[in-house]
Amino acid sequence: MKDDIREVKAYYDANSVREWERFDRHPYEFELTKRKLNRCIRPGDNVLDIGGGPGRYSLYFAERGCKVTLLDLSDSNIALAEEKARESCLSIKTIVGNALEAHKLLDETYDHVLLMGPMYHLLDEADRISAVNSALSLLKTGGTLAVSFINMFAGVIFYMTRQPEGLLIPEEQVYIDKVLSGGSFSGDAFTKAYFANQNSILPFMEQFHLRKLHLFGQEGILSPCSYTIMQQTEEVQKAWLDLAEKLSEKPEYFSYAEHLMYIGRKYEGIDIYEP
């Protein structure tokens, strides 16, 4: 295991509860992403959640009647997912493992594969390609692959909303310089992390002969003002979430989101891309 992957594993082993609670702090990412995924995933479908953390999406789809397998790097994340499944009387299959080796750990194929967390932390493009290849090898022809990225602008949103003084921290200048130059960033953040320039995601995913169904901001336009919206009535919140959904696939608004998701359908006779 590479040192950067080992560091990521240690981070989630120490923060599994915080990761479970993340969607309580950021509910619109979860709600909008569920809306998009529900266009593809139906009750009874077989879903593989690679890098799904403590299982918020896994348990959601299990509750909807899907057969779900959760694979995650962190022992603590898997243990918490199993605990939450028992509390909810839900059944999911769980495996501790590396997304890069998912094809070695599983021996069946799935209607849908979720590949969310891994792309947040794979610093080398070759590893990101390997993770997608591994996921595709486990996906049925005609099935859907959902891949999430941390948006490059997410760090700027974080500074604006939660740590304005971050711009003055010398160590943060490497990231700021990448923002200004229009690049992506790989390195130290909350742990080892990869922040993708929004314009790089579609060309990256086009390597894999997937037919694009959706590319959208998972928070829509709500990230910069989510805490204000959360204080409003349910009616007001729903109105903003509906607007965010309508704008979420417009590239001109991608910078308002901290996470971007690509959803594609696997071609018949797909050729796995090799760099």
Q: Give the other-Cβ count within 10 Å of 139's Cβ.
A: 22
CATH number where 79 lies: 3.40.50.150
Residue 189 lies in a domain: yes
Residue-level pLDDT at 1: 77
Domain span including residue 235: 3-266
Residue 240 lies in a domain: yes
Query: Which structure tokens are listed for 261?
Result: 């998701």
Residue 273 lies in a domain: no
- Residues of the chain whose pLDDT is less than 70? 269-275
Number of domains in the chain: 1
Residue-level pLDDT at 269: 58
What is the rounded distance in angstroms from the CA atom of residue 158 to the CA atom of residue 146? 24
Query: Which structure tokens are listed for 27?
Result: 């509910």
What is the rounded distance in angstroms from the CA atom of residue 11 to the CA atom of residue 109? 30
Q: How many residues does the structure list for the chain?
A: 275
Residue 274 lies in a domain: no
The 3-state DSSP class for residue 55 equals coil
- Supply φ then ψ for residue 55, to 5 degrees: 95, 25
Return the sign of the alpha-carbon dihedral for residues 269, 141, 31, 75: negative
Residue-level pLDDT at 208: 96
Residue-level pLDDT at 272: 47
pLDDT single digits (tens) 36-56: 999 999 999 999 999 999 999
